Structure 1
Amino acid sequence: FILQKRFIEEDRRGRASGCTDAFVKADHPAQWIADQQEFIRQQIERASAQHCLPARVVIAGASEGAEIVPVLARRIPETTHAVLIGNGGMAPIDAYRLQLERRSVLDARAILKRIALEPADPDALDNLIGGRTWRYWAELTMLRPGNDLLGLTIPVWVAMGGEDQAVPVASALYLRDLFAAHDKSNLTLAIYPGADHALFANSHPNLVDWWLAFDRAMGR
């Protein structure tokens, strides 16, 4: 199953084509988590009622979606595998800070300062930061995917491109080191040299290879 964010219209193709006010207001981690958790729980309960609960329940997320996979995997006990693509275990706000530094964004400090100051209306559409409400940023700072993943005993699969320009590959390396420091062996990490955020490298779709490898592992 794939569950999108709220208020995504059929004729929209990303933020470049514009976002409705309803979408922007609902676009924050707490809403994503609540919606995904409700949806997944409904599917599990329905399958259980029909006596056809699958042997594997894989919760997967790509890019921004991967930021909430660790939370969902911990909250939903039926989860058997956690999958993160185009993201790692670093706190999202720390990864964002690294991106600002890497891109030498001139107003990086001003952006981070705005995030730190709570406005009167956290959902105000006339006070967006990077196209997002203050609520989005406030909730993002609360996410600690590394800690959540560390608390899992199920297999954790992570894939990132070595030249990812959207999320620093340091996020995946952070997770690798975190698991090693705690003697955890349930992490399978793949970093594709030269690959971008979608795992493409020299026009080769590494994501396809990665999913095939994951699928084979599931069949063992």
Structure 2
Amino acid sequence: MLTKCIYLLQALLLVLLLGCQSLPPLSEQAPTGKLFHYPDGGSAIYYEIAFGDIKKDTAIFTYAATGCSSLKYQLPQYFSAIKANATLYALNKRYVNDLSFINSCGDDFIRANIFKNRQQDFINFVKAKSAELSFKPKNIVLIGVSEAANVIIKAATQLPSVTHIVIIGSGGFTMRRSLQELKNNHLLNKIYDIDQASKMIKNESASLQRNWFGNPIHWWNDILDVDPIEDYLTISVPILLGVGAEDANQPLASVKYLEQKFTEHNKHNLTVRIYSNNGHSLSPTARADLFQLLNQYLVNN
């Protein structure tokens, strides 16, 4: 009851702060937020959704991507093409309330929103929820979208129970290399000087207020040179990766580079789908195709 009251107060505060701005529409099937408590005393909101038959054999875990909007606005429709007999757990970042949808995230959020923290939070969440399952899962699936992709991949190297991974809108480059590639191909505004920005990010790494390219300097300093390749190559379970051919945030060269690395290391567990007429956010049709492939993998496992 106390948690529900807190959510209602947060929603009221948002309305007061935003005046006549309307909240984004919620699905009639939008799940109720629950509170997960971390070992260090912190907490985050998560959502639980059931798919398929009452008798479950699959657990699916996903994590919020860039910014501080709640996953609630994406649920359950984002994953509607999943046909497995599964329970899906969707985890918000710390300091993101049930109805948050704006990018004015607050200093507490910015301090906590760093790669190693998010990785450990996700690992703790997956382990705790897996231990609580009322069924013994045949499949444990991780789904990472955009910024969350590298967090998911890193976490997967420490979660031996994982059987499948789905990545959307990400590849094998560091963020720095992706930005430079986008600029070289005229997909990034020429005003963004990557080298100059790198110096500024390094010099002002502790800044919580100053932003560059839509995100706090503090965030950029943490994530700019995270290299996912070694983690990808450590993983032996099937990885399904879907990207839009017109993605202005993730260069296709990054995906090709990832495929090249798998070939060089004689690894055959990466399946890539490139969707024409799609950008960074895959269309419902493209997602349905990718999740249909996941459905086939789960049935055949």
TM-score band w.r.t. shorter chain:
0.7 to 0.9
Higher fraction of helix: 1
CA RMSD of aligned residues (A): 2.1
Unaligned runs of at least 5 residues, structure 2:
1-88
**Cα distance, 1:2 vs structure 2:** 0.6
Task: Answer yes or no: is the 8 Å Cα contact 2:143–2:166 preserved in 1.
Answer: yes
Letter in 2 for 1:35: D
What residue is the counterpart of 2:152 in the other structure? 69
Corresponding position: 1:189 with 2:272: yes
Aligned partners of 1:75 and 1:133: how far apart in 2?
28
**Cα distance, 1:114 vs structure 2:** 1.6
**Cα distance, 1:190 vs structure 2:** 0.5
What residue is the counterpart of 2:212 in the other structure? 129
The partner residue of 2:127 within 31, 34, 41 is 41
Task: Answer yes or no: is the 8 Å Cα contact 1:159–1:191 preserved in 2.
Answer: yes
**Cα distance, 1:127 vs structure 2:** 3.8
What residue is the counterpart of 2:161 in the other structure? 78
5 Å-filtered alignment, 1:1-220, equals: 1-15=89-103, 18-47=104-133, 52-101=135-184, 102=186, 103-108=188-193, 109-115=195-201, 117-119=202-204, 122-200=205-283, 205-220=285-300
Letter in 1 for 2:212: I
Task: Answer yes or no: is the 8 Å Cα contact 2:207–2:218 preserved in 1.
Answer: no
Which structure 1 residue ranges, 4+ long, deviate > 4 Å from structure 2?
Answer: none
Q: Kindly, what percent of the aligned residue pairs are identical?
A: 25
For residues 36-74 of structure 1, what are the alpha-carbon distances to aligned partners after superposition, in whole Å with 9 as ceiling and x for unaligned?
Answer: 111011112333xx6x33111111111111121210110
Return 168-177 or 102-111, whichever deviates more. Answer: 102-111
* 1:175/1:150 CA distance change after superposition, 3 Å: same
Task: Answer yes or no: is the 8 Å Cα contact 1:33–1:68 preserved in 2.
Answer: yes
Task: Answer yes or no: is the 8 Å Cα contact 2:208–2:217 preserved in 1.
Answer: no
Aligned partners of 1:191 and 1:14: how far apart in 2?
30
Higher fraction of strand: 2
For residues 111-149 of structure 1, what are the alpha-carbon distances to aligned partners after superposition, in whole Å with 9 as ceiling and x for unaligned?
Answer: 12223x244xx4432344345444422331452212211
Aligned partners of 1:39 and 1:218: how far apart in 2?
22
TM-score with structure 1 setting the length:
0.85
Unaligned runs of at least 5 residues, structure 1:
none
Describe the SS at the equivalent of 2:142.
Answer: strand
Letter in 2 for 1:37: I
For residues 159-181 of structure 1, what are the alpha-carbon distances to aligned partners after superposition, in whole Å with 9 as ceiling and x for unaligned?
Answer: 10111112112221111111111
For residues 69-108 of structure 1, what are the alpha-carbon distances to aligned partners after superposition, in whole Å with 9 as ceiling and x for unaligned?
Answer: 2101101111111221111122233213323443243241
TM-score with structure 2 setting the length:
0.64
* 1:97/1:125 CA distance change after superposition, 3 Å: same
Describe the SS at the equivalent of 1:68.
Answer: helix
Aligned partners of 2:210 and 2:282: how far apart in 1?
34
Aligned partners of 1:211 and 1:150: how far apart in 2?
23
**Cα distance, 1:30 vs structure 2:** 1.6
Larger radius of gyration between Structure 1 and Structure 2: 2
